[in-house]
Amino acid sequence: MKDKSKTISQSIAYRLEQMILDGSLPPEKKLPSERQLAERLGVSRSVVREALRELAGRGIVETIHGRGSFAKKVIEEIGETSPLMELYNTHARTLYDLYEVRALLEGEAAALAAENGTQEEHYAITKAFKEMEAVPAPANFALDYTFHLRIVEASHNPVLVHLLASLKSPLLKSVVTSLSNLVHRETFREHIERHHKQIYNAIISRNAVWARKSAATHVKYVSDALQNLEASDQPVIRDFSIEL
Amino acid sequence: MKDKSKTISQSIAYRLEQMILDGSLPPEKKLPSERQLAERLGVSRSVVREALRELAGRGIVETIHGRGSFAKKVIEEIGETSPLMELYNTHARTLYDLYEVRALLEGEAAALAAENGTQEEHYAITKAFKEMEAVPAPANFALDYTFHLRIVEASHNPVLVHLLASLKSPLLKSVVTSLSNLVHRETFREHIERHHKQIYNAIISRNAVWARKSAATHVKYVSDALQNLEASDQPVIRDFSIEL
DNA sequence: ACACATCAACTGGTCCTACCACGAGAGAAG
DNA sequence: CTTCTCTCGTGGTAGGACCAGTTGATGTGT
């Protein structure tokens, strides 16, 4: 239905490209070995190699001898040393600028995930949600991030996926920031958990409008809470060194 | 001296590319068979095939089953080969995904520019707007982009600025695409100019809600128009080589 | 002599298997 | 705990066998 009159290796190249774009294959992360791909796709290793060559020629993947093949990041990721990161570390307002954009993008992602998400993706979201719920508050920042990531992936919008991927570093940092500062306050924790549940339910029930509103409100709430916190007395802790 | 730390197939690809470019292998002419190349270059047929694949991925050669490989006429190699641009050259949908995100970001930028823009920035926007208005439709794509850029800069949100900057190349291309395809239709041109005027007025009068709505509607309109155009009959022209 | 079918000899496409070269991690040696 | 080594997984190359289109020469029937 889709492999119209093409050579097998070209079909494979197309499928791989599709996976990379949709985020099914995480950007800048190692993708399966040639032998694994060959077996999984039911073709010989040769065609896999030729497909990878073609994608390499287009600059979509990069393969390194002895290590493997990697999907090249579509949009430059913001590293720890980027100018934006500098701003973020020095200027308080940038944090809220980030939340502002985040509210937009995550809202859209949630809406699209509700509309276009496949059953598998909704299951992945469910899984991430339950895992996040299971772990007590302070230690689940990684799961929190994963939950949001699954939603974005289910949006089926490559531009959105890669844009949010490029914000990974500051985003992660912001998640840690919010959780560290707010989580020990019972009220905030309940709010956040309730928001997550709202977002989750909206997406699963495919209510796009509700999903967008919930996600945007959630981010906005966290941002406002941080801002109030900082305005009142306690300084917002910003500096963390984490890996994921 | 030449094959520094490269894989053999990459060297072969490079050598073939050079031969094609300097005319040793006449364009649009059949080049030696894979088996002949393998023997003449003293390598296995596998590496020859992979080299050809890589060149095929870059659009330099084209191989046809049963006939042979052909050097394609090199039109323009200059164009920015950003991975993101690669995608939506091959995947039509990505273009509309881009517009979807663009509608979000530009809407927010317009709203923020209305709220937070300084007088100087509003003047810069005014200047860009008048310049864009002055030039007849087909030739002002650069001014169109500048107009939108000024608005984003006036938003005072570094994250927004950075994200839209990272989308610059594909964004530029999309602007060119839309103008090239739609500008000769009187109806579309009038719509677009009216939209621009609405956005401009909303920002200058500091009406954030109106600004967001106008900008988002504008982008959405262009996207829909392109989609209708493509769905109906005429193919959307996507290929352009421009600098700015 | 012409038109047509046939077939043989190209071409690229796929598969396979063995082997080499490089890199990373586990485990032994200090 | 550090360092070295060695194994194992990875991509890279080789060469053979066979399949699948394309082409053109050959041959046959009219």
CB contact under 8 A, A54 and B57: yes
Is residue B30's pLDDT more than 70?
yes
> Which residues, other chains included, contact A37 with Cβ-Cβ below 8 Å and sequence gap of 6+?
A31, A48
**pLDDT tens digits for range A100-113:** 898 999 999 999 99
Nearest CA in chain B to A107: B104
A9, A65, A72 member nearest B83 (Cβ): A72
A50, A78, A101 member nearest B157 (Cβ): A101
To test the contact with chain A by mutation, choose from B34, B46, B69, B162 the residue with the greatest count of A C-beta atoms within 10 A, namely: B162
SS3 of B80, please?
A: coil
Specify which residues B62 forms β-bridges with. B70
Nearest CA in chain A to B46: A46
Q: At what angle do helices A158-166 and A141-153 cross, to 10 degrees?
A: 150
More confident residue, A139 or A119: A119
CB contact under 8 A, A97 and B157: yes
Judge contact between A103 and A219, C-beta under 8 A.
yes
pLDDT exceeding 70 applies to what percent of chain A? Answer: 73
A4-13, A135-144, A152-161, B60-69 — most confident range? B60-69
Is residue B118's pLDDT more than 80?
yes
Domain assignments of chain B as residue spans, ordered by start: 8-71, 83-232
More confident residue, B36 or A243: B36
Least confident of A1-10, A151-160, A191-200, B192-201: A1-10
pLDDT bracket for residue A209 (50, 70, 90): very high
- Mean pLDDT over B165-173 rounds to 70
Judge contact between A170 and A85, C-beta under 8 A.
yes
Instruction: Find the distance separating the first CA and the last CA of chain A, reported in whole Å.
Output: 39
- B128 CA to D11 C1', in Å? 53
- Mean pLDDT over B148-174 rounds to 81
pLDDT bracket for residue A162 (50, 70, 90): confident
CB contact under 8 A, B158 and A17: no
pLDDT exceeding 70 applies to what percent of chain B? Answer: 71
Of the candidates B101, B153, B160, the one whose C-alpha atom is nearest the C-alpha of residue A99 is B160
CATH 3.40.50.880 fits B83-232, yes or no: no
Nearest CA in chain A to B162: A84
SS3 of A213, please?
A: helix
CA distance A192 to A187: 9
pLDDT bracket for residue A195 (50, 70, 90): very high
Judge contact between B102 and B96, C-beta under 8 A.
no
- Mean pLDDT over A1-25 rounds to 78
**pLDDT tens digits for range B58-95:** 888 999 999 999 988 665 444 445 666 666 666 667 77
Q: Considering the domain A8-71 in this protein, what is its CATH number?
A: 1.10.10.10
pLDDT bracket for residue B25 (50, 70, 90): low
**Are B8-71 and B83-232 equal in CATH topology?**
no
pLDDT bracket for residue B190 (50, 70, 90): confident
CB contact under 8 A, B100 and A157: yes
To test the contact with chain B by mutation, choose from A6, A17, A159, A212 the residue with the greatest count of B C-beta atoms within 10 A, namely: A159
pLDDT of residue A6: 81
Indicate the pairing of strand B68-71 with strand B30-31.
Answer: antiparallel
- A242 CA to C27 C1', in Å? 29
Segments of chain A assigned E as strands: 30-31, 61-64, 68-71
